[in-house]
Structure 1
């Protein structure tokens, strides 16, 4: 009987009675949509234990001498593939605090990978091509995604109640390129708008 009581308590802890979809519209100071802004939500009750999985590929290709995509959201502990689709060789690296790594020169149709074990941001570059810049946002919540060309992000089945919403973008002109806001998530679908100054200069170093 005691075992059943403990099991029921655990189910109540991690299976919210109410949950809703949250759509966040990210806009700059002029009201224009901002793409590649990463929105994360951490419910006050915490996040479920266990691996976090996202529906998109953990992959940044080197194509047309650029990183594609420009911003990738990765769960902590996730392994990212770096396929080289160019005719030239690339040397991928990050000097970001807590995210340092280096993948030495490799050529066309070759793939290397790296596992990201620390929450934070890895600004990545190529030691051969200075114009190549990209970002990997490593998160510890399943409620995370980046905005599309319309500036919108939709997070599904966010537990109702108090939460902290964070918005990050390499050009968001605040300390650490990220803001944190206390919000209340409704049981039904809801919408919020985030407006900010996106005039900061994005750089790999």
Structure 2
């Protein structure tokens, strides 16, 4: 009897996390059926989550490499901080005037001493006062459950507690409002929940970079 109880306790300790968690396998494609990269999928529990406590959720990085923001899109959770190291051999002036976060990092090289804290949900558009084509996006999520699509348009939100979720998709060139992509999905412990979004994309208005005469790089 004692051995049997111990076996049940062991099974419970090993399997509890797996039994209570599931995945959302998402795919985002455009009107032609092609996978869309850099789309953010966010799942919000139907039952409101308790308010987060403690310090920042995490510290992330947006690099500046070859006069570009890398990554182009970075999803983070509210309360996260982001470093903006400049790995180029010239100075950059990073800024955002977005309502979700307004800040400026005046002309600098290397890594600023203090990362930028993102306290409110929303989309933060990054720019550089020196290089007009430098545009990047930080998607600040109120939910801890999010993922970004790869080149194939696929993303996996792993280990979600089972239950009901409101799930939506966002992209820098999304045609229409993010709220229009909302759908309700149920995450269970018996396999993954799959969902496909087909979205319209606006024209890419990023300024094209001109090649440097006689060199392999770009202005």
TM-score, normalising length from structure 1?
0.82
Equivalence map 1:1-205=2 (5 Å): 18-47=20-49, 49-50=51-52, 53=57, 58-107=60-109, 109-111=110-112, 113-175=115-177, 179-188=181-190, 189-201=192-204
Q: Of Structure 1 and Structure 2, which has the larger fraction of its residues in strand?
A: 1
What's the RMSD between the two structures over aligned residues?
A: 2.4
Kindly tell me: are residues 193 and 72 of structure 1, through their superposed partners in 2, closer, same or farther at Cα, counting changes over 3 Å?
same
For the pair shown, the structure with the greater C-alpha radius of gyration is: 2
Secondary structure of 1:84 counterpart: coil
Q: TM-score, normalised by structure 2?
A: 0.77
Superposed displacement of residue 162, structure 1: 1.9
> 126-135 vs 156-165, which deviates more?
156-165
Deviation at 1:53, TM superposition (A): 4.6
Give the gaps of 5 or more residues in structure 2.
Answer: 1-16, 208-219
Query: Structure 1 unaligned runs (5+)?
Result: 1-14
Q: Is the 8 A contact 2:25 2:156 kept in 1?
A: yes
Aligned residues: 187
SS state of the match for residue 87, structure 2?
A: coil
- Structure 1's 61 and 75: CA in aligned 2 closer, same or farther, altered over 3 A? same
